[in-house]
Amino acid sequence: MHKNEERTSLNKDLPESEQNPDGRARTKPPTVTGFHQDEDQHWVAELSCGHTQHLRHQPPWQSRAWVTDAAQRQKKIGQPFACGWCAQGLDNDNLSV
């Protein structure tokens, strides 16, 4: 039987691994800069990248009890936040109509 010699894949953290094929520089994830409530009284996180993210607590579908507590929201300010808009490569200019 022939033994298949396989090499390991590159680790994503290595410099030779292409993270952004379009040439964008690697950046740190955005952080939470504040919160506000929308017209329906749902909490919205304000992010350092300029985007916003609704954070609803609607069990059993969405469980984010911390968002209803002012002290817990305050603890999140300055913390990294995975922005879905940034992950899709959309910038603020593409969001306006």
User: pTM (2 decimals)?
Assistant: 0.63
Q: Is residue 6 part of a domain?
A: no
Q: Is residue 66 part of a domain?
A: yes
| Residue range(s) defining the domain that contains residue 68 | 32-95
pLDDT surpasses 80 at 26: no
When pLDDT is cut at 50, 70 and 90, the band that residue 87 belongs to is confident
Q: Is residue 67 part of a domain?
A: yes
pLDDT in tens, 44-57: 999 999 999 999 88
Which one, of 23, 21, 19, 29, lies nearest residue 53 by Cα? 29
Q: Is residue 59 part of a domain?
A: yes
CB neighbourhood size of 67 (10 A): 19
Which one, of 78, 87, 71, lies nearest residue 45 by Cα? 78
Q: Is residue 21 part of a domain?
A: no
pLDDT surpasses 90 at 4: no
Q: Is residue 23 part of a domain?
A: no
Q: Is residue 16 part of a domain?
A: no
pLDDT surpasses 60 at 14: no
State how far the Cα of 42 lies from the Cα of 36, in Å rounded to an integer.
8
Q: How many domains does the chain have?
A: 1
